[in-house]
Amino acid sequence: MNNPKITKNDIEIRVIYIKFKGTYVEFRKNSRKLFNELFKFATKNNLVQESITKVLTIYHDNPFITDEKNLRTSVAMTIPKDSIIVEEGQICSMLISGKYGVLHYELSLGEYDKAWKYAYNEWLFKSKSEKPRDSFPFELYVNEPPKNLKDKSLTDIYIPIE
């Protein structure tokens, strides 16, 4: 894993999402099922825009503070800003906005932990100009996430900053 290219962006992204509560291991075991449910809802409601729609994983809690069985993680997908959403079942919608540092990576399945550690420990906490903002970070998958340890994919890690 090489050091990432880093940009800073003010964003406004509308998403639908399903929140999961439990350990990251449990989340990974359930994430495919959750994404399938999200895509089923999106397809039924004509929300998928070919080559525009992106999927995300949102991290609502700090794993160094929150007990692992109480970690809240969401699967999400971008939707058009003007979409009218009637939330149903576990499907919710929200607007993600504000300033973010975006770390652009090409990652294999085993490199995500290192990428997150670099994002916070090397980039944010050692920066003299960036300050964390009270919001949640997320991964945006530029292309499909890797399915095995050999494949790589383009993934952007968004860190909320002031």
Q: Which fold is adopted by the domain 5-160?
A: Multidrug-efflux Transporter 1 Regulator Bmrr; Chain A (3.20.80)
Q: Looking at the DSSP assignment, which residues form a beta bridge with residue 98? A: 11
Q: Which pLDDT score, from 0 to 100, does residue 78 have?
A: 97
* Domain map (residue ranges) of the chain: 5-160
CA distance linking residue 41 with residue 27, whole number of Å: 20
What lies within 8 Å, CB to CB, of 35 at 6+ separation is 55, 75
- Torsion of the alpha carbons at 121, 17, 154 and 60, rounded to the nearest 10: 0
Furthest-apart CA pair in the chain: how many Å? 47
Q: CA separation (Å) from 134 to 34, 36, 92, 130, 160?
A: 26, 30, 21, 13, 7
The pLDDT of residue 148 is 63
Alpha carbons within 13 angstroms on the beta-carbon side of residue 9 total 14
- pTM equals 0.92
> Angle at CA 154, nearest 5°, toward 64 and 14?
75
Written as tens digits, the pLDDT of the chain (162 aa) is 778 999 999 999 999 999 999 999 999 999 999 999 999 999 999 999 988 999 999 999 988 899 999 999 999 999 999 999 999 999 999 999 999 999 999 998 889 999 999 999 999 999 889 999 999 999 999 987 666 667 888 999 999 999
- Please tell me the predicted confidence (pLDDT) of residue 151: 81
Please name the amino acid found at residue 50: E
- Give residue 2's pLDDT: 77
Q: Please list the residues that pair with 141 across neighbouring strands.
A: 55, 155
Q: What is the pLDDT of residue 1?
A: 74
